[in-house]
Amino acid sequence: MFDGYTSSELMSIFAMQGFAGLSLFSVFVLMALGLAIIFGQMGVINMAHGEFMILGAYTTYLTSGFFQSYLPGLFSGYFFIAMVLAFFICAALGALVEWLMIRHLYHRPLDTLLATWGLSLIMQQAYRSIFGAREVGVDLPEWMMGAIPVTEMVDLPINGLFVMVIALSVAVGVYLLMYRSGYGKKVRAVVQNRPMAEAVGINSAGIDRATFALGCGIAGIAGAAFTMIGSTGPSSGQAYIVDTFLVVVFGGAQSLIGTIVSAFGISQAQSTMEFFLSGSMAKVLTLLVVIGILMIRPEGLMALKVRR
């Protein structure tokens, strides 16, 4: 596969594809963080996570439309407002879903998977009815267009860079929330030993709802960021969901660092191989390698050490 390239060419190819992989990495990190804290906390796989992300994307789309028509002067800053809106709308819907559906199913994780799949079908069709089947895109504010040349072969698009900054700041934010706040302490207590956490007075049901809402809110931010680098359609979320699940499972369910490392590994592997093979084969190979590693090491890259 490397035949016919000189080593310097190979280096620039790797660099170029590596940078291209970084925007995929950002989307993976944003999607997977939300999924991972829900999965790590409650053992629940949220199949509708992609649809929550798309909800955030449509929120951004509507906000950008609103700013274009009514507040054109503030258009350059609309994205930040859209991101906050997306977070809160998705979190609110997430809390509602948790209250209506998920909390009845905690003892049956496989059933949650099916129920949230049902939810994802409904949400997808709702988007299709409201926004139409065609993909929509947002206009980028001017400062986000263009690229920074790094070397003569490698250009860094500003929007991709911006999305990466968002991804990393969200990751840092989640880390601070989980490891440096009272809420995070409670969450970790519930993860490690639920009955004991309840016994010392932690409201584990409340923690569950807050965590689910937080995960969905982060999905909303992911959606907002996603509009910066791609267009949004009713089923765009589904395109990413399998990869994201694998990112989470591969990283180790309860490890945020593991999630980020595995998102990085998977996105880079895919992006690098895409240059040498066809896109579909690159994806097949990446997924197969991940599945293979998971078969050898089912607990993922960085697992919390718990006795079972």
Interface with other proteins (CB under 8 A):
39, 43, 45, 101, 104-105, 108-115, 117-122, 124-125, 128-129, 238, 242, 245-246, 249, 278, 280-281, 283-284, 287-288, 290-291, 294-296, 298
d(CA 175, CA 184) in angstroms, rounded, equals 9
Closer Cβ to other proteins, 187 or 282, answer by number: 282
Residue 278: φ, ψ to 5°: -70, 160
Contacts of residue 62, defined as CB under 8 A and 6 or more positions apart, other chains included, come to none
The least CB distance from residue 129 to other proteins, in Å, is 6
The least CB distance from residue 233 to other proteins, in Å, is 15
Closer Cβ to other proteins, 8 or 280, answer by number: 280
Closer Cβ to other proteins, 108 or 180, answer by number: 108
Residue 232: φ, ψ to 5°: -110, 130
d(CA 53, CA 36) in angstroms, rounded, equals 14
d(CA 140, CA 159) in angstroms, rounded, equals 8
Closer Cβ to other proteins, 200 or 296, answer by number: 296
The least CB distance from residue 263 to other proteins, in Å, is 15
The least CB distance from residue 235 to other proteins, in Å, is 10
Which residue stretches of the chain are H helix? 7-42, 49-70, 78-100, 109-131, 158-179, 182-192, 194-199, 204-229, 236-251, 256-276, 279-296
The least CB distance from residue 115 to other proteins, in Å, is 4
The least CB distance from residue 246 to other proteins, in Å, is 6
Closer Cβ to other proteins, 64 or 259, answer by number: 259
The least CB distance from residue 186 to other proteins, in Å, is 23
Closer Cβ to other proteins, 69 or 305, answer by number: 305
Supply 238's token pair.
């589904």
d(CA 79, CA 10) in angstroms, rounded, equals 37
Contact (CB, 8 A) for 75 and 67:
yes
d(CA 9, CA 126) in angstroms, rounded, equals 48
Of 126, 83, 123, 118, the C-alpha closest to 101 is: 118
Radius of gyration of the chain (CA): 20
Closer Cβ to other proteins, 43 or 137, answer by number: 43
Of 45, 41, 80, the C-alpha closest to 221 is: 80
d(CA 58, CA 90) in angstroms, rounded, equals 11
